[in-house]
Amino acid sequence: GIPELVKDKINGLLFNPGDATDFNRKLDYLKQNPSEIRRMGKNARKFVQRFKWNNTVKNYIKLYQSLIG
């Protein structure tokens, strides 16, 4: 995962690039903790909502309104 977007064990799992052992450990963790998959999936969906076009537009409107007072 990309550390700037993926927060380890919050909205996904990070592993060391090129480290198959670390990757396999993370997969084993998910197999043993299916509720974590659902929890992180929900958090990931919430995070992605921030980048939907209509939310981005709303945020720009709020920014412009705050700038013009």
Q: Mind spelling out the 3-state secondary structure of 37-60?
A: HHHHHHHHHHHHHCCCHHHHHHHH
pLDDT at 9 over 60: yes
Q: How far is CA 2 from CA 7, 9, 14, 22, 57, in A?
A: 9, 13, 8, 15, 25
- Cβ contact 40:12 at 8 Å: yes
Query: Average pLDDT in the 19-34 region?
Result: 97
pLDDT at 40 over 90: yes
Assessment of whether the complete model's pTM goes beyond 0.85: no
pLDDT of the residue at 38: 98
Query: Average pLDDT in the 6-17 region?
Result: 95
In degrees, rounded to 5, the angle at the alpha carbon of residue 55 between the alpha carbons of residues 5 and 48 is 25
